[in-house]
Structures are given as structure tokens and as C-alpha cells.
Amino acid sequence: MSTSTAPLPERIGPYRILDVLGEGGMGIVYEADETGPVRRRVALKVIRAGFATREVIARFDAERQALALMDHAGIAKVLAAGATEQGLPYVVMELVRGMPLTTYCDTHRLTVPQRVDLFIQVCQAVQHAHQKGVIHRDLKPSNILVVEEDGEPRPKIIDFGIAKAVGGRLTENTLITHAGVALGTAAYMSPEQAEGTGLDVDTRADIYSLGVVLYELLVGKLPMDPEAMGYHAFLAGLASREWQVPLPSVRFAGLEYEKTTIAHLRRTDPERLLRDIAGDLGWIVLHAMEPDRARRYPTANALVLDLQRSRMDEPIAARPPSAAYRVGKFVRRHRAGVAAASLAFVALLVSTILATVGLVRARRAEERARIEALAALSVTDFVVQLFGVFDPEQLRTTAPVAEITARQLLDRGAERAREELADQPEQRGRILYTIGRAYLSLGRYPDALNQLRESARAREALLAPDAPELLDTYLAQGQAHRFLREWPQADSLFKRVLQARVAANGVGSIATVAPIGELATLRWRQGELAAAESLFREAMRVNEAAPQPNESRLARDLMGLGIVYFSQQRLSDAEPLMKRALEIRERILEPNHLEIASVSNNLGAVYYLMQRYDEALVHYDRTRSIYERTLPPDHPNLGSVFNNVGETQWRLGRLAEAEALLRRALAIKELRLAGTDPSMATTLHALGGVMRARGDTRSAEAYLRRALAIRAEAFPIGNANLIESVTALADLLRATGRGSEAAAIERRYLTESSRGAGA
């Protein structure tokens, strides 16, 4: 009901006014009925009479333009705009009948994990706004309303009333921010907003506000209360950046009589809640609320990824580096793996010693044996020192060390190899090759390429051009180039290895199988399917004719040929190849090996195209389970499998699950891949289909257009992926009454003449 004393206007434009939803300093929001051709209940925001200054009109216009840029399920949509008979501008928005975020969570007694799930959705909507070049600058629970759709809570961000364009002016009017005037709500405001200049506020201001919102969701209290301190004193202290925000656990522990009530609203007890917020979540909140914005999360996606790492018991970026913490995380996630790694490390040392002894006997040269022994000892010492952080004695006596994650350990190893092995090129080449291969497995392709290039330079100075170690380095270097879509460099390296191995071992030698298989994969990536098929067949023929076939390589090439058939829609030919590859890998590898995941994923894709969606989901879920246990949470392969599971759920009609998975896939890909990577288009295309199925044609069109732009750049006329994007977008346009626009898109992207004309 209305709380305003002013009489309600009967109508504003084609809208019949029903009630006042809310009032702010610059305007009033009414509930209204649209009485035009489209009949619906809307929210109508209009500037107050007497408040229509040039500055307020500019800010209001900025809100209208900002909202028009947004196209996300988590942001209230703009439906129309106009002006009253008195010339006051208004904007018509989607009517969001929801509760403020904190109110909804408390009313429904959501647990801490459930609150974090809702908060992640909010972050994803904020990320969308930032990608559109818009900062909200007033994120708070009352501007994040939660509605229920299909029985599931969905947050929607409202009120971009003081939004600021990142990339330029949103409106022809000038949006003025007076020096010394802070825009926003004090309790959720960032230090740079509190300064009041408004001249250097960027997206990280919203990250700070998100941190405050998360703090309140967890603790039930604000980190600092401006009402208790006084508004001006609060802003002055915030702008000074001298305050130390208490950890959520410390704030909660300091509450006396409210702990039980707050815990009850989270379906737990005070002791359990204190434990829940005392760990990673507390550090994540403080990282988002860093007074120095250069030390905050750089994006909302980065905040989401840390929350997901915490949930998966992965080390988080926000945690202050602590050896015991990193080791504890690693051991909890990989109890069996730690034991296996210890055994493998002992085996490495033993094999190193045995290899040295073998070389001594074989060469019967004491000097050479001494050199080899010293080399082996040098590498062994290097590895022992690198992993020495796991030594309990070091943990008790050494100051905080580098984070023990796979990437940090590799970074540390690469740096030490350059510094400590500068005068030992053989050992440096060996270590950097191993580190480069490890980076490849983590999906860190630029890092891998850097290490492999350096390894190659070290080995080139010592070894003959056809030395096996040098050729292995070139092969891995070519793989890195291929992942980075640097086709000519990859092609040159693979051919160089093949020619050298043919010269050394002869045509048909098993030594040629690997470079032939890598060239086949490259041809498939380039879309040259006939050449890829021929090369995969040749690799398999040579391998199977050898006295001792390389089963691991055979499984890889079987899968590669299956993928070629898959790309040609020869699904009945692809299926048995994938099954055979999976059988080999299940026989020779551990159950959770990544290579089992990759072939299971591809077999799932075959079943997906066969429309055997339940079977596809079994293989995709198996892949997802392995990846989530073994890969970092932002690995590109995880993005791909989330995409695959999401697409399958879409086909099974589970639209809410599909959308959530596809958005998670997109977040990873946007973080880890180039914006023009065709894999990005795959997820965007699927999201477009899901949003259309959910009735959100505006979002669907935006996703499909973005997918088409990527594919048009990546693929030639006639490519199946490009045709898929054109067909989907044209079909949507025709369904919304824009047949001529659909025909123009088809002419532009499906005919050789238009491409040749530079369309």
C-alpha cells in the first residue's frame, strides 16, 4: 500500500497508476497497469515534481540508458520510457515482486551454502552489467530483490539510479557528480565513493559493495554501522582507508544476545555458524572489501570463482599464504593421491639412481658416469627442495611460503630453474620441459609455451638436432601453439619432428606415430577433415603394426578419428571408435584419470547428437566428476563439460539447470579464453537456445548474435557451426516478426559473394 501523502495520479501516458511502490530522493516508483496493446503490470519510475533539476534529469536519463543496455535474467528489464504531460521523464520497468535479499534469506531460513548460492547469482548479474560498461554504485540488499521462479529463488538487481558508464557517457546530458558529494548508500559504499570526487570510480566499487552484502548475509550484521557512528564520521573514516574491517567470525563472536537468533535464521547453532564463517568465507569477504581497490577481486567473476573453490575445498586466492593451509587443502582433496604421489616420488628417486648406474655400466667411462650422477643428483636435489615445503620441519620453522597450488608450485619451479640452473643447461632444459608439460595439462597454454621455448633453447645449445629430448620438446611446443590456435607454428614444429624421426628411424617406425597423430589433430582443428582422417588412419596403422604397440597413443588416435567422424556427422562410425578408446584407457589407467574423462566426454557428445540424451548425460556426468576432482575450478576443460551437461539438460527440458550450468561454463571461458575463441560461441549459442525456450527472446537474441559474430570470424562460408548460428538467429528473428532482417543475415553469412564483397 502507498505510504505517500500526495494524491496518486490517475494515469501517466498509457499507464494506469495503482499504488506507490517506493520513494527516493529523486523520484517515485509506482505500480501501474499498461493499457496499450500489451497488457501487463509494471513498475513506473518518474522524477518528482520540483526535483527535476538538470543534474537529476541527467542522472535519471543515465539510469534509463544503463538499464536499456542490460540483458540478463538477474537484472530488471526496461520496457519503455517517456515523459509526463508536465515534461517529467519516466521509465517503465519489469515489476519485480520480491523480497530484499537479506529479508528473503532470513524469512526462508536459508543455510550458509544456500545464501552463497544466491549471492553467486547476484555476482553473475553484476558481471554482466560490468561487461556492458555499467557500474551500479548502489548495490545493497534492498536493491537486490529475490523472486521465486519454478519454485527456485532468483535474485534480480533493481535501481541503477546512480549508475555510471565505464566506457563513456550514457546520455547526451552531462551527469554531474559534485566534488565532496558521495553518491550511494553509506553502509555499502566503497572508500573511493566515500571520497566524493566521483572521478575515479570503476567496477571495483561494486566488488566492495558485494563484499559488504556477503558479510551481512553471513553474519546478520553490517561490518560497520554508519548510524551508530554518525554519517559524516563514517564517510570520513571510510575515505581515509584507515579502518580495519573485522573478520566476519570476529564480528559474530562479539555479539552477545543475538547469536542464537542469527544462527537459527541459518538453520544452525552459534558454534557451528562460527566455524562456517571462520574459514575461507571470511577471507573472501575481506578480499572483496580491501580498502585498496588494487588488492580487491578484479571482477565479479573472480569473486565467484573463489567462492566455488572454497566449496570444492580448493585453495582460494583470498587466503593469506600459509603453508599449513595449502597442504591441508591438498591433503583433504587428494588423500589417496598424496600417498600415491609420495610413492611416485620415491620411485622417481630410485629410478634416477638406477638409470645413473645403468649409464655407468653401459658407457664404461668413469668421467661420464660421474657427470651423469652429478646431473641426476642436481635434478633430484632441485625437486626435493621444490617440494620441501611439505616437510613438517620446514612448516614449523620457515616464514610463510608460496601458495602450494599446482600453478604456484610450477611458477616457483620455473623461476628457480632459471636462477639456480643457469650454468647447467642440460638440467635446466629437462626441468623446464617437465614444467611446460605440466602447464599444458593445467590449460595454462601461454605459460606452457614460454617454458617449452626456454627448454628448447637450452637443449639446442647442447644436443644434436635429432636428439629425442629436443624432438619431444618441439612436439610439446607444437601442442601449445595448437591450443593457442597458432596453426602455422604448430604445423612447422610437428613436421620438423616427423621429418627428423623418419630420417633417424625410417618410414613406418613407431617413433613417427606421435607427430603424425599431432598433425592429424591439427588438421581437425583447422577444419581439414579429410586430411585429418587420413593422418589418424596412418598413425593407427603404424602403431598396430609395431611389435609393441603404444596403447596410450592408440587410444588417443582412435578418439581423434572418432572426433573426425563426429564432425562429419558419421555418428555410427564414431561410436565404436570411442568405445574402443574408452576400453583401452579403462584397462591401462586409474579410474579418475583425465584421459578417461576426455574420451567419456567425447562419447557423450556422440550420444548427444544421436539424441540419446540420457546416455549422453551419463558420460558427461562421469567427465564432470573426474574434472571437478582433478582440475582447478577455472580450467577450460571444466568450462567445456559444464557446457555439455548444460546443453543436454536443455534438450531434456530442464531449463533452469541448463541455464545455471551454461552460465558457469561462460564465466570460466570468459576468464580463461580469448573473446573470439569458437568454444565461447558454443556456450553462447546454447544459452541463446535456453533463453528462447524460457521465453526471454531479448536475451536469446543477444547471445545468438554474439555467437554468430565469433563464428563468422573463425569459420569459412559453409562451415556447419556458422550455419547453425545463422539458422538459429534467423529463425528467432522471423518468430519475432523481422523476416527481412533474417533474410539479410542469411545473405550476408551464407553466400560466397557477400563474403568476397567484404560483408
- Which CATH number do you get for residue 758? 1.25.40
218-227, 545-554, 685-694: range with highest mean pLDDT: 685-694
Say if residue 213's pLDDT is above 90.
Answer: yes
Does one domain contain both 23 and 89? yes
Asked if residue 429 belongs to a domain, the reply is: no
Q: Evaluate if residue 363 carries a pLDDT over 60.
A: no
* Number of domain units in the chain: 4
User: Same structural domain for residues 303 and 339?
Assistant: no
Among 316, 345, 361, which residue terminates a domain? Answer: 316
CA nearest 556: which of 577, 581, 593?
581
**pLDDT exceeds 90 at position 685:** yes
720, pLDDT greater than 90:
no
Range from 48-57, 376-385, 581-590, 665-674 carrying the lowest mean pLDDT: 376-385
**Do 152 and 199 belong to one domain?**
yes
Same structural domain, 124 and 68: no
Do 462 and 431 meet the contact criterion of CB atoms below 8 Å apart? no
**Which of 401, 426, 443 marks a domain boundary?**
401
Give yes or no for a contact between 46 and 12, defined as CB atoms under 8 angstroms apart: yes
Q: How many Cβ atoms are within 10 Å of 39's Cβ, its own excluded?
A: 8
- Which residue has better confidence, 352 or 625? 625
Q: Classify residue 269: in a domain, yes or no.
A: yes
Q: According to the model, what pLDDT value does residue 24 have?
A: 67
pLDDT in tens, 558-598: 999 999 998 888 999 999 999 999 999 999 888 888 889 99
The domain in which residue 366 lies consists of 332-401
| Interval 684-706 mean pLDDT | 93
Same domain, yes or no: 702 and 742: yes
262 and 351 in a single domain? The answer is: no
- Does the pLDDT value for residue 360 go beyond 90? no
262: amino acid identity, one letter = I
Residue 166 lies in a domain: yes
Q: Do 54 and 111 reside in the same domain of the chain?
A: no
Cα–Cα distance, 43 to 31 (Å, whole number): 5
Residues 342 and 286 both lie in one domain: no
Q: Are residues 44 and 167 in the same domain?
A: no
**Does 570 fall in a domain?**
no
Do 104 and 59 share a structural domain? Answer: no
Task: Provide the CB-side half-sphere exposure for 644 (13 A, CA).
Answer: 30
Q: Using CA atoms, how far apart are residues 634 and 669, in angstroms rounded to an integer?
A: 8
Residue 271 sits in a domain whose CATH number is 1.10.510.10
467-486 pLDDT tens trace: 999 999 999 999 999 989 89
Distance, CA of 643 to CA of 629 (rounded, Å): 18
Q: Dump pLDDT digits (tens) for 604-649.
A: 999 999 999 999 999 999 999 998 888 877 788 889 999 999 999 9
pLDDT one-digit tens code per residue, 499-541: 999 998 888 889 999 999 999 999 998 889 999 999 999 999 9
| Any domain includes 197 | yes
More confident residue, 745 or 673: 745
**Which of 707, 714, 671 lies closest to 686 in space, CA to CA?**
707
Answer with the one of 268, 291, 316 that is the final residue of a domain. Answer: 316
Q: Is the pTM of this model over 0.85?
A: no
What's the distance, CA 176 to chain centroid?
A: 36
Same domain (yes/no): 171, 259: yes
Overall average pLDDT of the 419-435 stretch: 78
- Evaluate whether residue 139 is within a structural domain: yes
Q: Is residue 469 part of a domain?
A: no
Please give the mean pLDDT across all residues of the chain.
80
Contacts of 286 (CB under 8 A, 6+ apart): 211, 245, 247, 318
Whether residue 682 is found in the same domain as residue 696 = yes
Question: What letter does residue 715 receive in the DSSP assignment?
Answer: S
* Residues contacting residue 428 through CB under 8 Å, at least 6 positions apart: 417, 418, 421, 422, 454, 455, 458
In a domain? residue 649: no
Return the pLDDT at 238: 84
H/E run at residue 293: none
CATH classification of the domain holding 84: 3.30.200.20
